[in-house]
Amino acid sequence: MVIIWPIFSKNIHYFDFPHGDHLDNLRRCTSPTILTDLLNLNSIDSSDLFPAAIGDDFDVQNATISAGQALTKWLHSPAKDGQPKRLRCIDYNGQTNFDWINNFKEQFLRANAISSVSYEIHFTVRVTSMQMVPFELVNEWTKEKLTLAKAMKSEWNKSWIMKRCKIIGETAAVQQQNTYENLDNCNRVVIGFFDRANCIGPLSPPPSAEVEEKAGQSITKAACSSDVFPGISYSPKQVESLKNEVLNICKTEHFSCSPIIGEKGNLWLEKVLQVYQITNINHGLMLVGASGSGKTTAWTTFLKALENHERVEGVSHVIDAKSISNDTLYGTLDPNTREWTDGLFTNIIRKIIDNVHGELDKRQWIIFDGDVDPEWVENLNSVLDYKLLTLPNGERLSIPPNIRIIFEVADRKFATIATVSRCGMVWFSEDVVTPEMLFESFLLRLKNEPFISGENANRLLNIQIICENTLSMHMDANGLVPLCLEFAVEQLGHIMEPTEQRLLQTFFSMLSFSVKQLLQYDSDHPDFPPSDEQIANFISRSLLVNLIWAFAGDGSWKSRKSLSDFVRASTTIQLPPDQSLPITDYFVTMDGDWESWLTKVPQIEIEPQRITDTLTVIPTLDTVRHEMLLNTWLNERKPLILCGPPGSGKTITLLAALRSLPDMDVINVNFSSSTTPELLMKNFDHCCEYRKTPTGVVLAPVQTTRRLVIFCDEINLPRPDKYGTQRVISFMRHLVEKNGFYRTTDLTWVTLERIQFVGACNPPTDPGRNPLSARFLRHVAVIYVDCPGRTSLNQIFGTCSSNASSL
């Protein structure tokens, strides 16, 4: 109490004294002037405790004054917010002295303009024989009035209201009354002072600022809990052993996580434990939060931790219900034969019930990862309510107790109350996973996980440690990368909605590719390996190039130039010599030196008859840089989207770069407003083959030495359904994130192998275009391709004119 009382005292707006001596105990524990010391206190409820008369020589500092006199002094002291104070008191024992009413009249008539106060006293008189006479007094000097009247709903003339206030109009009086009514809806914290013996003096000392802040955050939670569950104290379940398992997995996976309150990753750890607590109560659970807020990592980490903790295997079945039809999800009934065919969800439930491979002995989680709408989720209400799945053919499947139904969604925009009320809920706010946590996780992986395999593993890991030491100073709280990230999100223009998660994922992918380039160069030159200084120079300068492309690559040339200028003004890393050019006009050689991209633009000769061919691609500064970016993400197995105005050369540049790669096959898929996932499946069937392996079914290109790139042209044309979901984009997100899908023919999970996606589109602001979902864009690098600049135009027309002159 010594620690928390000064914290509570700053936030107290209301006191409830169920017994008359509670105020005396409070004043004895704290201070005789406690009521007037609490500047925010504006409402008191009491039983058998009424105001008492005070004289002109009244001294509030006197510890021997009564609790009733302290109440009178509080009512006659000005309120901090200027609102009227409110006192509600009940005469239970019938022995209250009401002389204070005459005392209040005297104080009112003696008041001057300086001492103007305002209050309401609602009191109930138990003695029915007592005569109470209503009155109304006016003080012309203070422009106030004091009234005593019966309460409107009073029975047997027991309830009265004394009011002192300014003489105001009807409208203001109504607003004042609304203010009183709102006080009843405020959060409350109840503090009981029952032990008179322990109240021996003022509470001290005050807490530290850190303790005050943390305890202050708990006040609101405690207040909400006491409102919803009155009279029940919450004691968290002790899950230390499970928490330790979660921390061990986080350490193995190089996640940023801490058991200490206030440190990085502690809020995410709290969410993991909340998932555990909810799954013990509900068999239906909804994880709600924006893309990148840690939902998937939370349930996967928790499932592993629970498996290690309880020695029970955990199995997850991830379904994107919006990428398949309702018939595929639940099943179909033949109208002629009345024969029922299981769908994906029904098939999973039936396999668990059949228990052929001991499924009932395992923890089974069915994850619906995607948007929730009433057209498909309403069929699960009976499952969430009664653990019973009723099929159209009359069959009923009882859900075993080892099954949990989990919805992983970005929001509940179209989820009905019928579904939400049947689920437990865990909310992942945007601050659950912070950029600082992502920086720490990336650096931990860089320091501990080999990025490539090689003969000299120790040498390669030592290079990664040098890279980690070089990069860590730029990823500190006040380092270059966080500063540039904040500048990019708040100050720069982007062709698609930017999020910190998407920009950082792009940045980490590019930085990983730079590290792999360095490791591969070291492996290829064992006789002349790069020195530690060369390694540090290469990775620090590559950091600058990758940072600008990742944070401003989806913006115009002006945005990249602005970020480039910001980097020049913020960093101590050696920069390219020509300050008039953006940093993106340069690349870093393996020796750690800066070199212009112009040196990489080849001079070609074009046959005269090909000059007018629209498929002819003339290398320029832009095409060379875009080819570099494309190569980066293809090697990192990441999808890429080129976005730009019509005629900027997105499609032809992308196809030319893809077809120039020796081990790459390209399928061009033209999207339209009515494109569905079935279009992608037809292309898979045409260019790939399904193979059974010891680990399951794999879908891969026919030639085992080649990779397949699905080029999705006009990727933002598909029209969303009435619930805002682009089904084909949702399916692609599932493919990219889970690296597989459920085959509808036999309901078997299929893993993708050597298959990637790239796309091109016009800006989403163009007519007929639709913004892509944030959950899909989080996995995608977006590059804005503008019309060729002056340098590229000179290269194009110079090449054409020099070859045309030979005609």
Instruction: Give 219-228 pLDDT, tens digit per residue.
Output: 455 555 666 6
> Coil, strand or helix: which one is 134?
coil
State whether 83 and 217 are in the same domain: yes
362 — pLDDT class (breaks 50, 70, 90): very high
Residue 627 lies in a domain: no
Chain-wide mean pLDDT for the chain? 83
Of 7 and 454, more confident: 454
State whether 294 and 362 are in the same domain: yes
pLDDT of residue 773: 92
CA 446/CA 451 separation, integer angstroms: 8
- Which residue stretches of 137-234 are H helix? 170-183, 209-228
CA 614/CA 256 separation, integer angstroms: 51
Say whether pLDDT at 698 is over 90.
yes
Percent of the chain with pLDDT over 70: 82
pLDDT of residue 190: 52
CA 433/CA 369 separation, integer angstroms: 19
Residue 231 lies in a domain: no
State whether 419 and 440 are in the same domain: no
580 burial (CB, 10 Å; 0-12 / 13-18 / 19+) is exposed
Of 390-399, 408-417, 790-799, least confident by mean pLDDT is 790-799
pLDDT of residue 4: 55
Query: Could you report the per-residue pLDDT of 214-247, keeping only the tens digit for each?
Result: 444 444 555 556 666 666 665 556 578 899 999 9
CA 375/CA 324 separation, integer angstroms: 12
State whether 130 and 183 are in the same domain: yes
State whether 462 and 530 are in the same domain: yes
pLDDT of residue 203: 46
Q: Rounded to the nearest 10 degrees, how much is the dihedral formed by the CA atoms of 262, 265, 270, 273?
A: -150
Query: Could you report the per-residue pLDDT of 461-506, keeping only the tens digit for each?
Result: 999 999 999 999 999 988 999 999 999 999 999 999 899 999 999 9
pLDDT of residue 173: 43
> Averaged over 392-420, what is the pLDDT?
90
> Averaged over 301-315, what is the pLDDT?
93
The two three-digit tokens of residue 329, written as one number: 């999800």
> Averaged over 92-104, what is the pLDDT?
77
Residue 789 lies in a domain: no
Of 235 and 319, more confident: 319
pLDDT of residue 219: 47
Of 176-185, 261-270, 385-394, 738-747, least confident by mean pLDDT is 176-185
Answer whether the bond into residue 767 is a cis peptide, omega within 30°: no
Of 655 and 6, more confident: 655
pLDDT of residue 181: 44
CA 67/CA 52 separation, integer angstroms: 8
Question: What is the count of structural domains for the chain?
Answer: 3
Domain extent, residue 371, equals 240-428
Say whether pLDDT at 46 is over 90.
no
Task: Tell which residue, 712, 692, 694, 693, has the closest CA to residue 755.
Answer: 712
State whether 381 and 263 are in the same domain: yes
Say whether pLDDT at 409 is over 80.
yes
Helix axes 295-310, 266-281, angle to 10 degrees: 70
CA 428/CA 291 separation, integer angstroms: 10
Domain boundary pick from 566, 591, 620: 566
577 — pLDDT class (breaks 50, 70, 90): confident
Of 452 and 220, more confident: 452
pTM for the complete prediction?
0.70
SS3 string, 459-515, reads: HHHHHHHHHHHHHHCCCCCCCHHHHHHHHHHHHCCCCCCCCHHHHHHHHHHHHHHHH
State whether 419 and 486 are in the same domain: no
- Other beta carbons within 10 angstroms of residue 383's beta carbon come to 21
pLDDT of residue 204: 42
Residue 535 lies in a domain: yes
Residue 122: enclosing H or E segment and its boundaries?
A: strand 119-124
Query: Could you report the per-residue pLDDT of 750-769, keeping only the tens digit for each?
Result: 999 999 999 999 999 998 89
> Coil, strand or helix: which one is 427?
strand
Highest mean pLDDT among 80-89, 309-318, 525-534: 309-318
User: At 410, which CATH number?
Assistant: 3.40.50.300
State whether 310 and 291 are in the same domain: yes
The two three-digit tokens of residue 797, written as one number: 């027309």
Say whether pLDDT at 699 is over 90.
yes
> Coil, strand or helix: which one is 249?
helix
- Mode of pairing for the β-strands spanning 135-139 and 119-124: unpaired
92 — pLDDT class (breaks 50, 70, 90): low
Residue 152 lies in a domain: yes
State whether 318 and 453 are in the same domain: no
Residue 79 lies in a domain: yes
Residue 652 lies in a domain: no
User: At 529, which CATH number?
Assistant: 1.10.472.130
Domain boundary pick from 532, 566, 600: 566
Say whether pLDDT at 198 is over 90.
no
Residue 716 lies in a domain: no
Burial letters 334-366, b for 16+ CB under 10 A, else e: eeeeeebebbbbbbbbebbbeeeeebeebbbbb
State whether 403 and 452 are in the same domain: no
Domain boundary pick from 504, 534, 566: 566
Which own/partner pairs from 232-239 qualify as long-range (CB within 8 Å, at least 24 positions apart)?
237/277, 239/273, 239/276
State whether 380 and 362 are in the same domain: yes
Percent of the chain with pLDDT over 90: 45
Residue 747, phi-psi category: left (phi > 0), alpha (psi -120 to 50), beta (remainder): left
State whether 472 and 419 are in the same domain: no
